[in-house]
Amino acid sequence: MQSNTNPQDSNMIGSHELKEITELLIKHHGLHDGLYDLVLEFGVAIGAVGPAPDQILPGVMVGVRRVGIAKATTSGPNTIDAAKINPTISSKKIAAEKKTSSK
């Protein structure tokens, strides 16, 4: 977790990089194999916006509607391999046995 260094965000407990959110969602959904990317769904609206009634301009408002993960067919800069960050119990045992047998 990243430390909060922005004084404007004094109420923020912590922040997470996009890759870390992807890893958390992979673990949350119990995924153990495959490549996954973070998906953000945005809502977009147009309208009259401005700080005061005499300063209204045409504008766009964007909001994040959902956050999720999607199975990826190719690896990109933010793609996470579920087998590496959330291996099955049997995979963990095999890795541990390999470490002890190689000593």
Angle CA 33–39–42, to nearest 5: 165
DSSP 39-89: EEEEEEEEEEE-SSGGG-EEEEEEEEEEEEEEE-SS--TT-EEHHHHS--H
Residue numbers of the domain that contains 27: 7-101
In a domain, 27, yes or no: yes
Residue 25 placed within a domain: yes
Rg of the chain in Å (alpha carbons): 21
Residue 20 lies in a domain: yes
pTM above 0.85, yes or no: no
Three-state DSSP class for residue 46: strand
Is 40 within a domain? yes
Number of domains in the chain: 1
2 part of a folded domain: no
In a domain, 1, yes or no: no
Question: Residue 68's pLDDT band (boundaries 50, 70, 90)?
Answer: very high
pLDDT per residue as tens digits for the range 74-100: 999 999 999 999 998 876 566 666 666
Q: How many residues does the chain have?
A: 103
